[in-house]
Structure 1
Amino acid sequence: MRHINFTATAALSWLVCQCAATPTSRPRNPFSKPLDSPTLDSRQAHAVGDFGPSLEPHNKRQTTIAVTGVPGDTQPRLEIRDLEQNKDQWNMYILGLKKMQERAESDPLSWFRIASIHGRPAVAWNDVEGLGDYENPGYCAHSSNLFLTWHRPYIALYEQVLVAFAIDVAQEFPEGPIRDRYEQAASSLRAPYLDWAMEQRTGGNVLPDSVASPTISVITPDNIGWNSTNTTTTSIIPNPLYSYRFHSEEDFVYTKYINWNSTLRHPTSDSASATSDTEQLHSALNSMRQGQKDRLYLLLTQSSEFNTFSNEQWHLGGSSSRKPDTVYDSLESLHDNFHGAVGGRNAGHMSITDYSAFDPLFMLHHVMVDRCFAIWQILYPDSYVEPRAQGTGSFWFRKGDTLDADTGLKPFYSPSGEFWTSDTTRSTDTFNYFYPQFPPETTASEAKATVNTLYGRGPPRSASNDGFRRRGPGDRGGIVGVAPYYLPTFKTSGSKEPQWDYVLTIRAPKNGLDQTYFVDVYLDSNDADTRDTETRSAEGGPDWVGTQAIITRLGTEEMDNVYVTAAVVLTRKLAEKIMSGELAGREEAVVTRYLKDHLQWKLRKSDGTEIAPESLEGLEIGVISSEVEPETSASEFPRWIGDIKIYDEVTSNRAGGWRPG
């Protein structure tokens, strides 16, 4: 008996939909269930030409591709390690990816063409033409209030195509129980995510072997005995999660990206013979994980306004010309760091916006970003996209255009024939998915408890000092298993013990150089041998605090600049310096004096070339702090209280520091 929600023919026909000529307008609560899904007839969906159950190539399309999400029941998007545990779904996921990547690059539903929506080559997709005089290749919205909402239908498109390919593969298996199993697994499959902030239970790498290995084991239709359901073997194939192999040369403009015949991570050189350096990739991602976790927790607990939480564009709030209206960080800036860490030295594909979507890690990463967005929506349901002038342009909008929640998210059509908008994509239910730890109907209190468990701050390394103790029952609410920490000051008799967060802030010109660049932050040791400074301050070294990647396009020196903002949490490293004896105390004056004497930063291009901070016009690095009111229960967050303090004296009058006035 079949247990499948829809047939392969239906699964493939909803990929190519003749959208209705007249849009349907129905008011709804954006956090309720989605609009009643139209039937295939009301969507006027039908197969086109040879486009049928086997996904025959169809390069001359006469209809519009509508983004619907995977039809059927709402299903969970799993963390990739959890998806690996479901052997049937995992097998169909890998085989579906493989088939999608093998599709001719001229096909609009191929891996290549869906990836190219994001950047190069600069060609129209779904017959949605660009401006003609566009500033940037690709439809993606970056440094934009639409950053998160534009990527939501983009991922939904990828997901529905992936599942269609997986169902197609399932139908190649012999009829009977095995095919039934694989069809069911494929139809309930959703795109997985990679949690780059999660502490690995087994102490393993951030990047699992299933993504980092060049080959992978699968069961294909050829491994099944046609006369027996019990005869199965496995095949070793090139891993479609490791890289995408380009079929032909396209308009990639820059020589090394033309010469590289597959996507690379931490390329060993710029030459055509370069390979991915997986050891360096693991080192970079493992080193940054704790900092990513601290920043994600800060964003989820303190950033309550959508426009500032969502994207990195610098915009001012309050009366100070240097004080934005949030905690100086954004989910987009956090997202940039992963891109930079994966691309690594020599600017692998993930570190350049033009080419990043070709790397299979791109979708794993962006599903994680969408998950963070979905969590934030549960926590702050009343804040959403507000109108904003764009700091830079794209294939379909210009610098200075004001975009809002009703702006069509091009090139993604809904079944109504209109473009999806931020308002119409507000609920994950719209595209039939959810995230398991935050299922539908999760309350804000429940979400806070889960966030505290997953991402709450643990004590710094070697935390034996009672100032950084792990809390137990009866200690400020008796929160068990969360153990956040901040930087406490000495208590005076009978007084409350104040606690503080210290954060380094970065304001930088996104297009200030001709490529992606990095800001490395470290705290110079008191007794560090000068000959060892480079090692100690290097990524993962004892003095290193964190790195911020400023992700851009190549050849951007002639583009209009947009300023972006980011943050590096200092609190954890300061606590470690106190425990090591390098920082003499916790009082504000002692801490700020230490930062003035020891806080350092370096700028480098992706090839390792160091950049003098004074040569980057508009760079401003500063330090702020806030008093923290600890949470009182497992389902509450700590709160920044009072005014944010800005320490001009720490970084002003230094190259790249805050400029007074």
Structure 2
Amino acid sequence: MPYAPYNGVGPVPGGSGAGFCPHGESQFVAWHRPYVALYEQILGAQVQRIAASYNSSQNSSAYREAGEIFRLPYWDWAANPQLPPSCTQENITINGPRGPLTLRSPLYNYRFSGSRKGWPTETTRASDGKSNSNPDVVNANLAAVADQLKYQVYRTFTYAETYDQMSSTANLAGVSLEASHNIVHNAVGGTFASLDLTAFDALFMLHHANLDRLAALWAALHPGAACQSEWYASPGLYSTARGENITASSPTKPFYQADKRSFHTGITAASLKPFGYTYPELNDIGRIIPRINELYGDTGLLSGCGKGGGEKRDWFVQITVNRSDLDLPCNIDVVSGDMFAGRMALLNMPKEGLAHATIPLQKVVATLGSNTTGIEATLREWIRVEVREVNGSTIDISNITNLNVYLVAIDVTPRRNESEFPKYRSRSMYTKTVLDRGRSDNG
């Protein structure tokens, strides 16, 4: 918001009238790359402008040098699922061009100028339904999904074989980076859980820089699959008509290439080279897998991802839901007794279409110890789902007709060394749903 033309790109007949961003679509990752790059370019120009205002007595050359090498930082919420400390300080003291200066931190929140009907006065982060901004609440929410975030990111790297699987919750595999991205939005909560307002929060770009980084690492390991491979019909966006065929060659409106005439596409956004930046792990392609194993591979939850040993079995829940059946945004939590296993997070847009996600059951399986006899029956009995608002309030699911929850097992050959990923083998989906509508709406 506001829904308005940008870069000379306006609404089209048959469009949704809402935003440009293709959430819940295969184009999701590709679209955000020029978006993040444009933000970095504009912010970098402001950094250089401010750096130039320091005089020689203030070590101006150091500020100018810092301005020249400035790059947008990323927040690796899968490896460190806590708010960056720089984003939790309401006021900060800095060395300004005219001396020490105390000001409200732009990384803490954003205050809207003027008043607009239906808009808040400032961005917020909290998911307890009681406070507008509370870093402790947000960090507690992130800690609750920490193991799942690490697991899901690792599964994206080790399981996704196509760009479409890696990118979007629209893909049936349910292993997308978008699914993890959604969990972070809802865990932070407040206006961060609203796609209308979240980009006003500086944390948004730190979040999306990491999404871009993870996608870049995946693409480096899949050089022949670095862009969308399957076409789909657009559900309709601000500048894209409903039913338009979307392929890797489709424009990522409203972002132009350097010639200022041609839109970026999934193909032009597949490489970082046109954008002039990189990530540390890409400096040594041969070390990407060891680094991914180091950061995300030793969760203690992945039953199939230990070193050495024979084939193991990884258990998870697969969820497919039609967004139009739900009050969005919301979370679909998977629980076992009093134990929270993980969640599927759905944002407030898009309002319709199928979404897919997989939820790890390693914490639940770990409670069984070495006795895994009859594990399928045990998990069927224990596992249930709860649909909740972002603030934790329970939603009655008795009228949600297109919510399908399945128990799935997959055989895994563990990696033998740090330079390998585990290998997934045969997959068993137990077609009887584990959803128990008679119990699932209990706290």
Is the structural similarity TM-score above 0.5? yes
What is the SS of the residue equivalent to 2:398? helix
Deviations 1:214-239 (A, max 9, x none): 1123211011xxxxxxxxxx332111
CA distance in 1, matches of 2:243, 2:20: 16
Tell me which of 348, 361, 372 is aligned to 1:570: 361
| Paired position in structure 2 for 1:528 | none
User: Does residue 249 of structure 1 match 2:124?
Assistant: no
Question: Could you tell me whether the CA contact under 8 Å between 2:195 and 2:348 is conserved in 1?
Answer: yes
Q: Verify the 8 A CA contact 1:626 1:640 in the aligned structure 2.
A: yes
Which of 82, 85, 91 is residue 215 of structure 1 equivalent to? 91
Higher strand share: 2
Matched-pair contact (CA < 8 Å) for 2:5–2:11: yes
C-alpha spacing 1:570/1:330, structure 2 compared with 1 (3 Å): same
Structural mapping, 1:492-503, within 5 Å: 497-503=310-316
- Asked whether the 8 Å contact 1:511–1:552 carries over to 2, the reply is no
Any residues of structure 2 matched to 1:10-89 within 5 Å, and which?
none
Q: What's the counterpart of residue 297 of structure 2?
A: 456
CA displacement at 1:563 relative to structure 2: 0.6
Q: Deviations over 1:265-319 (max 9, x none)?
A: 116758xxx63122211100122111100111011011111112111114xxxxx
Return the alpha-carbon distance in structure 2 between the equivalents of residues 180 and 138 of structure 1: 42
SS in 1 for 2:281: coil
- Residue 458 of structure 1: CA displacement? 3.5
- Identify the residue that residue 429 of structure 2 maps to in structure 1: 646
- Whether contact under 8 Å (2:29, 2:212) holds in the other structure is yes
Q: What is aligned with 2:75?
A: 194
Cα offset, 1:418, TM superposition: 1.0
Amino acid at match of 1:573: V
> Structure 1 residue 548 and structure 2 residue 344: aligned?
yes
Q: CA deviation at 1:393?
A: 1.7
Are 2:371 and 1:585 equivalent residues in the alignment?
yes
Select the residue among 242, 264, 288 that pairs with 1:399.
242
1:183 to 56, 61, 64: 64
Long gaps (5+) in structure 2:
none
Give 1:486's aligned residue.
Answer: 304
- The residue number in structure 1 matching 2:407 is 623
Q: Deviations over 1:53-109 (max 9, x none)?
A: xxxxxxxxxxxxxxxxxxxxxxxxxxxxxxxxxxxxxxxxxxxxxxxxxxxxxxxxx
Q: Is 2:186 the counterpart of 1:340? A: yes
SS of residue in 2 equivalent to 1:648: strand
User: Is this contact kept in 2: 1:596–1:649, CA < 8 A?
Assistant: no
CA separation of 1:391/1:608 partners in 2, compared to 1, >3 Å: closer, same or farther? farther
Q: Distance in 2 between matches of 1:269 and 1:298?
A: 32
Q: Cα RMSD (Å) of the superposition?
A: 2.3
Alignment partner, residue 40 of structure 2: 159
Hey, what's the Cα distance between the residues in 2 that align with 1:640 and 1:275?
43
Measure, in 2, the Cα distance between the counterparts of 1:387 and 1:168: 43
CA-to-partner distance for each residue in 1:323-370, whole Å, 9 max, x for gaps?
Answer: x3x3x2211111110011111xxxx21112121111111101000000
Q: Deviations over 1:423-450 (max 9, x none)?
A: 11221122111111222xx33x421111
Contact 2:412 2:424 in 1 (8 A): yes
Judged with a 3 Å threshold, the aligned counterparts in structure 2 of structure 1 residues 430 and 600 are, in CA distance, closer, same or farther, namely same
Contact 1:620 1:656 in 2 (8 A): no
Structure-to-structure mapping, 1:146-545, within 5 angstroms: 146-175=27-56, 178-199=59-80, 206-223=82-99, 234-250=100-116, 255=118, 258=119, 260-266=120-126, 275-314=132-171, 324=172, 326=173, 328-343=174-189, 348-383=190-225, 384-390=227-233, 392-416=235-259, 417-439=261-283, 442-443=284-285, 445-460=286-301, 485-486=303-304, 497-524=310-337, 537=338, 543-545=339-341
Separation in structure 1 between the aligned mates of residue 69 and residue 391 of structure 2, nearest angstrom: 43
Is the radius of gyration larger for structure 1 or structure 2?
1
1:609 Cα offset (Å): 3.3
Q: Structure 1: which 5+ residue stretches go unaligned?
A: 1-119, 200-204, 224-233, 315-323, 461-483, 489-495, 525-536, 538-542
Give the superposition deviation at 1:395.
0.5
1:483-504 C-alpha deviation (Å, 9 max, x unpaired): x64399xxxxxxx743111111
Greater RCO, CA 8 A, separation 6+: 2
Please say which of residues 157-166 and 141-150 is displaced more in the overlay: 141-150
Contact between 1:137 and 1:354, CA under 8 Å: does it hold in 2?
A: no
TM-score by length of 2: 0.92
